[in-house]
């Protein structure tokens, strides 16, 4: 579609920042100075790692939450509350089980005070548009996941929105269903069968972003900022095998590994800075770093897959991710962890083993555990911190809540939980700590 600078601006986000207050009363800066415009005629994808603030930005656009500073406008009118012209599609919909498809779709209109005959007419039209005809009288439990998500779309369409916001609308669906629903949606858009003038779609799937969007906005994390924007000037339907598509894929990987590098570099710089001022009480201890959330078996699986994909000492990340069917949410935390632990080095779009990483890959199980333990304690401050506390305690036992409370000074409750789970998982593999599920206690594996 032709989108020029002169196209009407649908949404305008000006210098938005958003902080949340953690359970421990600390301020968490989630979005920092975001500027963004959605113009008439475009689909924009917001792409970024988990936790980079994409959903928060979408909720701000929908008027569901308020910014800490900055301004938002919908067609030049400030957004203070949910706006009638803007509809939202979520990852999963809470459909009311005792209502039929038709009644579930009508629900969105009841709130707007539309009278019942008109409600029915418009709901039937939305159901037809999204390909649910024949299922009007079905109950949610009779529907597959894909059909249920179509009800979610119909619920958004029935209000005849001007702007459609979607938050990972396909991520709960299988690949076939996703392909099917996504191409139906693109078809709906290009054929102009709805009144929708602009779409913002959050995703963590790079290919999905290139398949759908006119423009891709890439987020960097901690705090969430816009790192890059990439224009996709390809006709629909887009061919994932075409050269232009592959080039865009490489370009995006390049950008996303850049943000990862700068994040790691920033954390290291901060740690150095703190080490230099050790006599003063530090505000942000070194262990309070948002560890990438990984699973130990996936991490080792990745190391093994990397060996198979090594060409001239480097591994192409898009190729590696594709061969393992991993998307951004899976691949980047893993590569980042390998980088932090000095088993690999990420550079733009590529990853390479370090000597230690190579040695790890080529060792047997016991040797691997030793190397892993050594690197975990040397390079991951949270592992050091936990180990230090356990060493200090006469019983060499500490309830996990102690560490959770500490983390909650810097991260949300969920995030703290995820970070602690990760370090326990890695620590158990390395046999540097033990965890008792029943008592919720961490302890030393071999106290002597």
Where do contacts with ligand ADP occur on this chain (CB under 6 A)?
A: 20, 28, 30, 48, 50-56, 412, 414-415
CA distances from 319 to 72, 250, 439 (A): 39, 9, 43
**Residue 68 engages Mg ion in binding (rule: CB under 5 A):** no
Determine the distance from the C-alpha atom of residue 101 to the mean position of all C-alpha atoms in its chain, rounded to a whole number. Answer: 30
For helices 381-392 and 365-379, angle between their N-to-C axes, nearest 10 degrees: 90
Q: Which does 227 bind (CB under 5 to 8 A by kind): ligand ADP, Mg ion, none?
A: none
Q: Shortest approach of ligand ADP to residue 219 CB, angstroms?
A: 7
Nearer to ligand ADP, 162 or 415 (CB): 415
Whole-angstrom distance, CA of residue 104 vs CA of residue 398: 49
Q: Which does 278 bind (CB under 5 to 8 A by kind): Mg ion, ligand ADP, none?
A: none
Single out the segment in contact with Mg ion by CB under 5 A; choices: 49-57, 256-264, 308-316, 390-398: 49-57
Nearer to ligand ADP, 23 or 273 (CB): 23
Residues 246-275 that bind Mg ion (CB under 5 A): none
Query: 147-164 burial, b if ≥16 CB within 10 A, otherwise e?
Result: bbbbbbbbbbbbbbbbbb
SS3 state at 42: coil
**Residue 171 engages Mg ion in binding (rule: CB under 5 A):** no
User: Of 171, 173, 238, which Cα lies nearest the Cα of 210?
Assistant: 238
Nearer to Mg ion, 153 or 219 (CB): 219
Q: Shortest approach of ligand ADP to residue 55 CB, angstroms?
A: 3
Q: Shortest approach of ligand ADP to residue 392 CB, angstroms?
A: 30
| Binding-site member from 55, 171, 180, 384 for Mg ion (CB under 5 A) | 55
Interface with Mg ion: number of residues (CB under 5 A): 1
User: Of 258, 270, 367, 269, which Cα lies nearest the Cα of 317?
Assistant: 258
Q: Shortest approach of ligand ADP to residue 20 CB, angstroms?
A: 3
How far is the first Cα of the chain from the last one, in angstroms, to the nearest whole number? 68
The neighbour count for residue 116, using CB atoms within 10 Å, is 10
Determine the distance from the C-alpha atom of residue 215 to the mean position of all C-alpha atoms in its chain, rounded to a whole number. Answer: 18
Q: Shortest approach of ligand ADP to residue 227 CB, angstroms?
A: 13
Q: Shortest approach of Mg ion to residue 311 CB, angstroms?
A: 34
Backbone phi, then psi, for 130, in 5-degree steps?
A: -95, 10
Nearer to Mg ion, 30 or 371 (CB): 30
Nearer to Mg ion, 45 or 398 (CB): 45
Interface ranges with Mg ion (CB under 5 A): 55
């Amino acid at each position: 579609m032709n989108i020029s600078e002169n196209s009407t601006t649908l949404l305008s986000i000006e210098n938005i920042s958003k902080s949340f207050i953690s359970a421990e009363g600390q301020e968490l800066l989630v979005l920092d100075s975001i500027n963004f415009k959605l113009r008439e005629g475009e689909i924009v994808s917001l792409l970024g790692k988990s936790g980079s603030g994409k959903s928060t930005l979408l909720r701000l656009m929908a008027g569901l939450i308020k910014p800490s500073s900055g301004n938002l406008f919908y067609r030049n009118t400030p957004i203070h509350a949910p706006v009638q012209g803007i509809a939202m599609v979520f990852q999963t919909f809470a459909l009311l089980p005792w209502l039929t498809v038709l009644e579930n779709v009508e629900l969105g209109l009841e709130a707007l005070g539309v009278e019942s005959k008109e409600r029915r007419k418009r709901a039937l039209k939305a159901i037809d548009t999204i390909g649910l005809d024949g299922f009007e009288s079905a109950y949610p439990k009779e529907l597959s996941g894909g059909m249920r998500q179509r009800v979610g779309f119909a619920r958004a369409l029935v209000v005849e929105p001007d702007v459609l916001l979607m938050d990972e609308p396909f991520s709960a669906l299988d690949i076939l269903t996703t392909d099917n629903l996504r191409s139906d949606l693109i078809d709906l858009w290009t054929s102009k069968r709805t009144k929708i003038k602009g779409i913002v779609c959050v995703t963590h799937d790079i290919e999905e972003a290139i398949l759908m969007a006119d423009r891709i906005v890439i987020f960097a994390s901690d705090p969430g900022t816009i790192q890059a924007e990439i224009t996709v000037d390809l006709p629909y339907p887009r061919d994932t095998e075409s050269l232009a598509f592959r080039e865009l894929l490489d370009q995006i990987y390049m950008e996303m590994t850049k943000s990862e590098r700068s994040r790691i570099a920033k954390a290291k710089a901060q740690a150095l800075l703190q080490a230099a001022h050790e006599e003063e009480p530090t505000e942000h201890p070194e262990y309070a770093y948002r560890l990438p959330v990984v699973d130990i078996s996936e991490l080792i699986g990745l190391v093994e897959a990397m060996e198979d994909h090594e060409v001239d000492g480097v591994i192409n990340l898009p190729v590696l991710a594709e061969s393992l069917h991993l998307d951004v949410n899976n691949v980047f935390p893993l590569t980042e962890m390998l980088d932090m632990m000095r088993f690999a080095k990420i550079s733009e779009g590529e990853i390479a083993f370090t000597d230690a990483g190579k040695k790890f890959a080529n060792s047997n199980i016991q040797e691997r555990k030793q190397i892993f333990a050594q690197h975990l304690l040397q390079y991951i401050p949270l592992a050091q911190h936990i180990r230090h506390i356990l060493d200090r305690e006469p019983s060499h036992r500490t309830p996990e809540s102690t560490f959770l409370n500490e983390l909650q000074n810097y991260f949300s409750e969920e995030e703290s939980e995820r970070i602690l789970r990760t370090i326990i998982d890695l620590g158990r593999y390395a046999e540097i700590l033990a965890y008792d599920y029943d008592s919720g206690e961490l302890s030393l594996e071999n106290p002597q």
